[in-house]
Amino acid sequence: MPITEILARNAERYGHEKCLTEINMDLQERDKVTWLEYELIENNPAGEYRRDMTWRVFDEKANRLANLLLKRGIKKGDKVAILLMNCLEWLPIYFGILKAGAVAVPLNFRYTAEEIKYCLELSDTTALIFGPEFISRVESILEQIPQVRILLYAGENRPLFAESYDRLTANCSSEAPPVKLSDEDDAAIYFSSGTTGFPKAILHTHRSLVSACYTELKHHGQTREDNFLCIPPLYHTGAKMHWFGSLLSASKAVLLRGVKPEWILKTVSEEKITIVWLLVPWAQDILDAIESGEVKLEDYDLSQWRLMHIGAQPVPPSLIHRWRKYFPNHLYDTNYGLSEAIGPGCVHLGIENIHKVGAIGKAGYNWEAKIVDESGKTVRQGDIGELAVRGPGVMKCYYKNPEATAAVIKDGWLFTGDMARMDEEGFIYLVDRKKDVIISGGENIYPVQVEDFLRTHHAIKDAAVIGLPDKRLGEIAAAIIELKAGFAVTEEEINAFCKALPRYKRPRKIIFDKVPRNPTGKIEKPRLREKYGVTRLVAAQTEINNLSLPKVR
């Protein structure tokens, strides 16, 4: 069953029920109006603080775009890219592309013009739908992307080089287009996170997308009574595949534009949110805001919030212990995934296993998992090896890259590039990325283990550990440490704190700086390696050593 049939079913059964709400906190703060005032605005136009959509309107908007694309000559298998910030139009556009039989190509909204050009060329995209934030970037590459023959603009103040998405789709039929789809038809191209350079194009079928719906529903038990708060970017598999549980259960979801702790808590309170998926930095910010007194939990009605789940990166156990202190009644889950495995869920902890915080869990619903050595053989229980997964959500291929595909898919198993170990109960613990392992004096240092330890220090907000060249040891571990607001700590104090680690795991360099993360929460270690190369490191460390910092308070 293609995923578009689930949307059509919801429209038929629950057409008049609200399915999506967009809330733009930036607009509310800028315009200084109350929530009630916005509720009273009729026919909320684009750009208003709060906008709603029903299942029937969702399906009709998808049909209108599909019919427009077909009218413009888009054929089954053609690629149509989406370059939008999270908004109410995003998901109807995505499904409209699928209903036309085309392949949706979501693009990272942080891409530079050169990266946009690269991804459009790599994916053979022939049509692009973009929003106002990207006018200048798209315009700067117009002459370099001749294969993109259709440019649709979603927003006000249309640039002259594009056509109006709103005007053109309004004149198209809202009936389902006459396109037959199957499970094996190509559906979407997602791009790898790009933390190691230019991203690879990951091709998925309708079967992959539908499998994500059932995996998510099985893991988190969405019912029609739930309301899911979606904050991460929809271009990424993580946010969208978690929302697929709402799609399958025909339940509501809220798209929140803004990540401030008070915004998240206010939305949960006012919209009666029951499920929230957070990235690690946002959960940390909420806890910091509570502990600093910036927000007071008694100001919000959070009684209906039943589940907080988290993922997209290793989750420090210390963070969850802090979370449970303030939210003791929450169910908790963590999800491991990667875009090559249709996002989150191929491994998950499970809400019944909170006693195993620190593990990423076991193989998810309809998935298998194993840990293997360099030859592909399963390692002994407790030994570290590479995590491999197999299931219905494994990508079809890296588009136009058979060599890279063959390197990671073997006998149906996807080799993730993540190093992990399994305990005696079968729970998997993520150790680190295979490429991030630091080999210092012949010893393997797994940065995630050191990062988790550093984050237990009461003054440390975030930490990243990278390997830097060393003449004697080959590599040494350098810790980039981001402190919490209002705290200060010396290098000597960090070194003393690290004496609890085995000697070989202790960072040899301590650098105080901000830890950069991409929109999905992953640490951007290539940026750190570039920033703190050998020549830069000496100057940076000299500056730190000369600082006179007060003691931790």
Q: What band does 312 get if pLDDT is binned at 50, 70 and 90?
A: low
CA neighbor of 85 nearest in space, from 30, 33, 160, 155: 155
Decide if 330 is inside a domain.
no
Do both 192 and 104 map to the same domain?
yes
Decide if 124 is inside a domain.
yes
Q: List the CATH number of the domain containing 519.
A: 3.30.300.30
Q: By three-state DSSP, how is residue 261 classified?
A: helix
Q: What is the pLDDT of residue 161?
A: 96
Buried b (16+ CB within 10 A) or exposed e, 478-505: bbbbbbbeeeebbbebbeebbeeeeeeb
Q: List the CATH number of the domain containing 193.
A: 3.40.50.12780
| The length of the chain, given as a count of residues | 553
The dihedral through the CA atoms of 231, 232, 235, 237 has a sign that is: negative
Query: Does the pLDDT at position 541 exceed 70?
Result: no
For residue 552 the two structure tokens come to 């931790």
Decide if 281 is inside a domain.
no
Do both 119 and 141 map to the same domain?
yes
Q: What is the pLDDT of residue 457?
A: 93
Q: What is the pLDDT of residue 423?
A: 94
Per-residue pLDDT tens digits for 252-288? 999 998 889 999 999 999 999 999 998 877 888 899 9
Decide if 254 is inside a domain.
yes
Q: By three-state DSSP, how is residue 231 classified?
A: coil
Max CA pair span of the chain: 71
Tell me which long-range contacts 537-543 makes (C-beta under 8 A, separation of at least 24): 537/468, 537/478, 537/509, 537/511, 540/511, 541/509, 541/511
The span from the CA of 473 to the CA of 450, in Å, is 18
Residue with more model confidence, 526 or 416: 416
Give the domain extent around 521: 437-545
Say if CB 213 and CB 244 are below 8 A apart.
Answer: yes
Per-residue pLDDT tens digits for 176-185? 999 999 999 9
Q: What is the pLDDT of residue 529?
A: 79
Domain stop point among 434, 464, 479: 434
Q: What is the pLDDT of residue 28?
A: 53
The dihedral through the CA atoms of 166, 172, 174, 175 has a sign that is: negative
Query: Does the pLDDT at position 43 exceed 70?
Result: no
Per-residue pLDDT tens digits for 205-237? 999 999 999 999 999 999 999 999 999 889 988
Residue with more model confidence, 352 or 311: 352
The span from the CA of 39 to the CA of 25, in Å, is 14
β-partners of residue 186 are: 205
The span from the CA of 360 to the CA of 428, in Å, is 6
CA neighbor of 484 nearest in space, from 322, 336, 354: 322
Query: Does the pLDDT at position 139 exceed 60?
Result: yes
Alpha-helix runs per DSSP H in 187-331 = 206-220, 237-249, 261-271, 280-292, 317-326
Q: What band does 434 get if pLDDT is binned at 50, 70 and 90?
A: low
Query: Does the pLDDT at position 39 exceed 60?
Result: no
Decide if 270 is inside a domain.
no
The span from the CA of 208 to the CA of 244, in Å, is 12
The span from the CA of 350 to the CA of 220, in Å, is 8
For residue 532 the two structure tokens come to 């703190």
Do both 390 and 517 map to the same domain?
no
Per-residue pLDDT tens digits for 186-207? 999 999 865 445 689 999 999 9
Decide if 307 is inside a domain.
no
Say if CB 477 and CB 465 are below 8 A apart.
Answer: yes
Do both 376 and 484 map to the same domain?
no
Per-residue pLDDT tens digits for 53-79? 999 999 999 999 999 999 999 999 999
Q: List the CATH number of the domain containing 391.
A: 2.30.38.10
Supply the pTM of this predicted model.
0.80
Please give the tally of structural domains in the chain. Answer: 3
Q: What band does 41 get if pLDDT is binned at 50, 70 and 90?
A: very low
Decide if 25 is inside a domain.
yes
* pLDDT cut 70: percent of the chain above it: 88
Query: Does the pLDDT at position 538 exceed 50?
Result: no
Do both 138 and 44 map to the same domain?
yes
Q: For 50-54, 434-438, 448-452, which range has the lowest pLDDT when averaged over its residues?
A: 434-438
Decide if 408 is inside a domain.
yes
Do both 86 and 177 map to the same domain?
yes
Q: By three-state DSSP, how is residue 202 classified?
A: strand
Say if CB 273 and CB 229 are below 8 A apart.
Answer: yes
Do both 57 and 91 map to the same domain?
yes
Tell me the mean pLDDT in the region 308-334: 85
Q: What band does 415 get if pLDDT is binned at 50, 70 and 90?
A: very high
* pLDDT cut 90: percent of the chain above it: 64
Domain stop point among 258, 277, 312: 258
For residue 287 the two structure tokens come to 């806890």
Do both 430 and 441 map to the same domain?
no
Q: What band does 540 get if pLDDT is binned at 50, 70 and 90?
A: very low
For residue 150 the two structure tokens come to 């259709």
Domain stop point among 434, 458, 491: 434
Q: What is the pLDDT of residue 30?
A: 47
For residue 211 the two structure tokens come to 């499998």
Do both 249 and 377 map to the same domain?
no
Nearest 10 degrees: Cα torsion 8, 10, 15, 20: -110
Do both 144 and 29 map to the same domain?
yes
Do both 79 and 156 map to the same domain?
yes
Q: What is the pLDDT of residue 48?
A: 56
The span from the CA of 404 to the CA of 415, in Å, is 11
The residue with tokens 């020549």 is 535
The span from the CA of 267 to the CA of 295, in Å, is 14
Do both 187 and 251 map to the same domain?
yes
Q: What is the pLDDT of residue 313?
A: 64
Nearest 10 degrees: Cα torsion 514, 518, 523, 529: -80
Q: What is the pLDDT of residue 440?
A: 78
Query: Does the pLDDT at position 38 exceed 50?
Result: no
